[in-house]
Amino acid sequence: MSFMSINMSTSNLPVYNPSGGARIGTIYRHELFAVNTRAGGDGAFYRILFLNSRGALEWGELRYPPSAAIQNAYSSKYTYGVRRISGREYFIFKVRYRSLNIYSATGRRIGAVAAGQEVAVRSNNPQSGNSNPHWLQIHYASKTTGGWDRIAADNVDYGYVDSGLAYGSRWNTIPLDGLWSPHF
C-alpha cells in the first residue's frame, strides 16, 4: 500500500521526472504528497504524486530525501486526537474548506464528508490507495447531524477519502487536515 507524506524536513525537495531525470518541481517544507510504495527505491528513490506548479497532480520522483521528508502525514503523531467509536479507538483528522468524496475499496464513490467534519482511521500509520495514493484509508466519517457513519462497502470494513491534494498541498491549504503547521 501507499501512504500520504508530509515534508517535515528543513529542506525543499527537488522532484524529478521518473522516466527522464529532468527536474519537474519542488516539494516545499510542510507540503503534502503521496508516496507509491510499490514503485520501489529502497529508501533512495520514491515515486510520488504531487501538486505541480500548474495546479495539477503529477507523478514524480524524489531522490535521497532526508528521513524527515518522508513522514506519514496522517499518523498518530499529527492527529487531532483519539475518539472511541463502537468500542474501539480511532485517530481523528479534520475536513476543512470543502466536502471530500468517499470511495469504496474498489474505487466506487459511496458518499462524501462535509467541510467541518472529521474522519477516523484505525491505524497509527494509515495507508492510502495504490491506484489513487492521494486517497486516505478511513473507517468512519462524522455526520453533520452528529454521530458517525461507518465506511464499509464491497466486502471490506474500510473505504477511502480523497485528501483534496488536487486543491491544495500546503499545510494551510489541504482540505484533509493534520497538525502539520510550522507554528506547532
Which residue has better confidence, 62 or 181? 62
Which H helix or E strand runs over 181?
A: none
8 Å CB contact between 143 and 35: no
d(CA 160, CA 109): 9
Q: What angle do CA 142, 136, 119 make, to 5 degrees?
A: 15
Return all residues near 139 (Cβ < 8 A) that are at least 6 apart: 85, 90, 120, 121, 122, 150, 151, 152, 157, 158
pLDDT tens sequence across 77-134: 899 999 999 999 999 999 998 999 999 999 999 999 999 999 999 988 888 888 899 9
DSSP 80-112: S-EEEETTEEEEEEEE-SS-EEEE-TTS-EEEE
- Mean pLDDT computed over 43-69: 89
Residue 43: per-residue pLDDT: 64
- Total-model pTM: 0.90
